[in-house]
Structure 1
Amino acid sequence: MSALHFPCTIFKTQNRMDDYGAKDMRCGDLTEAQLKTLFHLPDVSTRTNPYTLTKITPFTQPQSMFYGSRGEGEKITRQQCASILFDEFRDLSRLFSIYGPYKHLIEKMITHMQNDNGTPFRDMLLDSALKEQILNDRTENSTLSKIKNALIENIDWINNTYPTDNKGKIRGAILDGKLPKFDRFQDNINGMGITVHDTWATHIILKSLHISNDSYRAVVNYKVQDHFGLDVEDIAKLKYNVFRFFRIWFVLQRCNTFAFKPFMTNMEATVEITGNRNDSKK
């Protein structure tokens, strides 16, 4: 029976990497009429009207007692309007990013959307957050737990190899668990829930596996990708639509007046795991 060669990809999600055809990667595909009628977005910003390209003042805010007393607000260009919307977008992001080392990531990603025309985004802090999430998930459903158990149960301990025929058993074990995501309670306020939250595609690579004396040491690499973009199902949900933050985001991305491109968020982490042949019997 042949032995597995390394590095070896042991898991891939059905969602593929670099899927620019995904629904949340669309941009500039909706009109003012569609945004207002289909997605209930007549009220977007407190600072500017993206449909009329005018500044909003107390005299032009419907909620204000001064509304209508001085006509329309000051006319501005599309670029000026977008700049105002992005500033408000960044300011509102602080509601979801209160403490910790990742709290400034969302502002960096908003600025990336504003200036970088849809190019992929990488940041060392995202890699750190991913590694921390993987290592700190000590539940039975974590991918590391599933990989550890699969290795112990399927290694050929007599020949100190992992049989190629058992490769699919690692993937099956991972499928039975929970992939790394940022949907914990702390992610609601540490910045990771708003920057990534769920993920789109994950590849897990077994980079090396050393077996001796009924023990193993393995190096596992995770490549994870998310989309910084909104689809129509997102904005249709009350929990998104009620926040001005998401309304501004959706209009900047999907309104044909602006059409700022969403982008791929890339993360990577490498971890080492060890185990013993008898671990599963304890």
Structure 2
Amino acid sequence: MNALQLPCILFRTQKRMDDYSASDMRCGELTETQLRTHYGLEYISDQVDPWTLTRRSSMDRPQSMFCCHLRGQGKKLTRQQCTAILFDEFRFLSRQFSFYGPYRHLIEKMITHMQTGNGTPFRDMALDRALTEQIIRDNSKENSTRLLLEEGLKKYIDWDKKYYPSEGKQKLVDSILYGKLPKFIKFRDNFNGMGITIHDTWATHITIKSLNIDDDRFRAVVHYKVQDHFGLDSDDILKTQFNQFHLFRIWFVLQHYMQFGFRPFMTNMEATIEINGGRSGS
């Protein structure tokens, strides 16, 4: 029986990393008519009308009895001026989802990256800290991949020979499958910025980098690589929970309208944690 060769990738999601063919990575493919009729995106912004490239007046709102007469009568804008205003409004509206905590600044950075980054991947140390914190703070014995891996290592290490047998790899894989991957879907994430920047995730890889066994104790170093997409697809915007907010309507139009076509991007984050434990009964 051989020892498990390290580093060892224990888990990969079915969804792959760097999947630029995903539906939420499309951009610039929809016409004005499609956006207004199929998606119901007639009124997008309180600041500008992207369809006529004009400034809105304070009375040019859906609730105004004068809106039919005033719409399109404001100051004409260039496409660049219009999108700059939309991005400013996008950033402003994002604050209702990120008004406390150490990660509240991330959404505005990511919106600016969409505006200027031309689809290049996004990385920030604060995202790595948030991922690490999420993994370490998850103390659910039923869901935490960290705790389930700890239990699997404790149970299946060959304590007499001081190694983890390669034949037992599937036991560790199963430990992860029984748990829930780290995501930002708790109630607090609706307000601390992580729910809108990441929320669910697209792809996850989990790797054991090293495993040291000393007497009746072990120390494992485990690496999480997580990727999400900062983009919206048709299914997102057709949901009432998204469509009702101007923020998501602006986001979708900036991304998908063929006259704008701002590119979504991959959001990358990593966390390296230690898992320490002892022999059962020790």
Distance 2:138 2:96 in 1: 26
2:74, 2:130 → 1: CA distance? 44
**Is contact 2:49-2:72 (8 Å) kept?**
no
The question of whether the paired residues in 2 share the 8 Å contact of 1:58 and 1:64 is answered with no
Aligned-pair RMSD on alpha carbons? 1.4
TM-score by length of 2: 0.96
Q: C-alpha distance in 1, partners of 2:217/2:61?
A: 69
Q: Structure 1 residue 212: deviation in Å?
A: 2.0
2: distance between equivalents of 1:215 and 1:60?
Answer: 69
SS of residue paired to 1:94: helix
Q: 1:219 aligns to what?
A: 221
Give deviations 1:194-234, integer Å, cap 9, x for gaps: 10000000111101001121211101111100000001110
Task: Go from structure 1 to structure 2 and tell me whether the alpha carbon gap of 1:157 and 1:69 turns closer, same or farther (over 3 Å shift).
Answer: closer
Distance 1:242 1:152 in 2: 49
Alignment deviations for residues 30-69 of structure 1 (CA, whole Å, 9 cap, x no partner): 1111111111110100011111111111354443355426
Contact kept, 8 Å, 2:56 with 2:71, in 1: the verdict is: no
For the 8 Å contact 1:218–1:274, the answer to whether it is kept is yes
Change (3 A) 1:276 1:75: same
TM-score under structure 1 normalisation?
0.96
Would the aligned equivalents of 2:28 and 2:257 in 1 still touch at CA under 8 Å? yes
- Correspondence for 2:255 among 249, 253, 259: 253
Quote the Cα distance in structure 2 between the aligned partners of 1:248 and 1:263. Answer: 17
Q: Which amino acid aligns with 2:238?
A: A
Q: How far apart, CA to CA, are the structure 1 residues paired with 2:70 and 2:229? A: 44
Is contact 2:57-2:70 (8 Å) kept? no
CA contact (8 A) 2:56 2:72 kept: no
Partner Cα distance (1:153, 1:233) in 2: 43
Unpaired runs of at least 5, structure 1: none
Gap runs ≥5 in structure 2: none
Partner of 1:167: 169
Query: Compared with structure 1, are the counterparts of its residues 45 and 277 closer, same or farther at alpha carbon in structure 2 (3 Å cutoff)?
Result: same
In 1, are the aligned partners of 2:163 and 2:213 still within 8 Å (CA)?
Answer: yes
Counterpart AA for 2:98: S
Q: Deviations over 1:4-31 (max 9, x none)?
A: 1211111111111101011110101111
Residue 269 of structure 1 aligns with an amino acid whose one-letter code is A
